[in-house]
Amino acid sequence: MRTGFRQSMAWLHTWSGLLVCWVLFLMFCGGTASYYKEEISLWMRPELHRTAPADAARVPAAQMAQNALRYLEREAPDAARWIITLPDARRDAVNVLWTYKPGQAPRDADGKPRRFDTRLLDPATGAPLQAARETRGGEFLYRLHFDLHYMPAKWARWIAGFCAMFMLVAIVSGVITHRRIFADFFTFRRRKGQRSWLDAHNALAVLPLPFHLMITYTGLVTLLFMYMPWGVEAAYGGDLRAFQAQTRLRPLPPKAAGTAAPLASVPDMMAQAGRAWQGGQVRRIVVGLPGDANASVTLSRAEPATLSHDPLALEFAGASGALLGAYAEDKSAAELTRSVMTGLHIASFASPGLRTLFFLCGLAGSAMVATGAILWAVRTRQQQAKAIAARGRPGFGLRLVEALNIGAIAGLPVAFASYFWANRLLPVAMAQRPEAEIRWFFIAWAACALLALCRPTRGMWCAQLWAGAALFGAIPLLNALTTGSHLGVTLLQGRGPAAVAGFDLVSLALGLALGAAARFTGRRQAVGARVASRPRNVAATTQEAA
């Protein structure tokens, strides 16, 4: 090895980060937004802002479940599965979802079969809440950060895992490379070009370093058996059902008997579950094959704020109500470790304050990836300054990286904001509305990427940052013009969902941050233009004097 170990790690850190940084930036941004996917979904259904369901805390869980079952028996008697989610601290309505059997699903306007349908019910009456516009809401952003949307989910998850592994290598090699990394964290030198970007990168990496390591490693663990299936294949011959049956983390779906049978009393099952859990409450009810003699009812416990992701569950025979088994109890050390790591990644256990901390660390991670990509471009441009001056333009590789930086880093906020604007501006009753909102996300992002490829300049940085600032900063105004739950009501008068006020305030803060970045970039461009013009002015003066 011609260079030392630390220099080798620096090379590895640079290239393991650069090659996947644009996908990582998308994954960080989508994953960070996912911490508030329920609140985002509520904001994107403004019709529900005016609906005041009954106080769920005053309604017995058994009554809410019975009301939901009656609704499902009436609306989806032939469904393959019913899923009932009872209210909690972040949801004040009962959510019911049903999936269709193969060949029985209704078709959308474009002819595609629907996989499922969902409704929100009043906790006290079981009546559907006011019809809300169709939207994927925060669920799209959650799925985007590992499913990447426009590709088969399996391939997308392999890509996400590949990028996460590169991220893990970049983190470890970065710690090894910077021996003064903790001292450098307290140092920031303004207006020093490459040095300033390195200082910012170090600061954004060191303070949330435990979070970066945790979120990257646990992201890989969540899809462990997809990336490393050899253990299950060797021990169970590739039979994943047998593996799940032995680990007993969750029940297997039942097989249809083909004989009709009514469903036994679910409230009685809930009472039995409460006794088994020593007063623990049911949060989720899954009915497999409703109306069939082999129907099953799985009750999942509303866990306290624990790190483990897999909740305790009891499975009952749907027709007789007999207890079939308990799941996620007495986990082995390996099972508990995996469950805790999944829980850490998803942060379902987090209190409001801790969720905010996770969100801020996610923003820092996004900025860390962005500053790393920009740092490479700044450093390379400085190293190639003489060649660029001789050719009059940078080389293809540098131009490509700078264009990708603009399209991915400055263009992605434009795409996110466009998704929220489309939610408000598209006709409420249009066909395939959720997909139309998502298309506008990618249309806006593609437009930013194409403009960046055509003109990868500092001026394009400014234009796209200002566009993102305007779109995000105007979201509270957009909300005020299209709904009655604006900041004047939700914040000043204290009426309406607090989550809506929080979304507006965060959007305004993001707009201000993007505006500050655009202003800083514009000032740097003006300084660069003055410096670049200075030699030409001197030469002109000398020629006139001669």
Q: What DSSP assignment string belongs to 159-177?
A: HHHHHHHHHHHHHHHHHHH
**DSSP 8-state assignment for residue 279:** S
Write out residues in the chain with pLDDT < 70, as ranges: 1-2, 51-56, 108-112, 130, 181-195, 241, 245-250, 304-305, 494, 524-546
Q: What is the Cα–Cα distance from 333 to 140, expressed in whole angstroms? A: 34
The separation between the first and the last C-alpha atoms of the chain, rounded to the nearest angstrom, is 57
The pLDDT value given to residue 539 = 38
Identify the three-state secondary structure at position 318: coil
**DSSP 8-state assignment for residue 455:** -
Taking the CA atoms of residue 358, residue 362, residue 368 and residue 369 in that order, the dihedral angle to the nearest 10 degrees is: 150
**What phi and psi values does residue 325 have, to the nearest 5 degrees?**
175, 165
Q: What is the Cα–Cα distance from 64 to 34, expressed in whole angstroms? A: 27
Angle at 270 between CA 269 and CA 273, to 5 degrees: 90
The pLDDT value given to residue 183 = 67
The pLDDT value given to residue 58 = 81
The pLDDT value given to residue 537 = 46
The pLDDT value given to residue 184 = 64
Judge contact between 453 and 415, C-beta under 8 A. no
The pLDDT value given to residue 225 = 83
Judge contact between 362 and 346, C-beta under 8 A. no
Q: What is the Cα–Cα distance from 186 to 205, expressed in whole angstroms? A: 12
Q: What is the Cα–Cα distance from 511 to 501, expressed in whole angstroms? A: 15
The pLDDT value given to residue 193 = 61
The pLDDT value given to residue 393 = 79
Ramachandran assignment for 432, one of left (phi > 0), alpha (psi -120 to 50 degrees), beta (any other): left
The pLDDT value given to residue 543 = 36
The pLDDT value given to residue 111 = 64
The pLDDT value given to residue 541 = 33
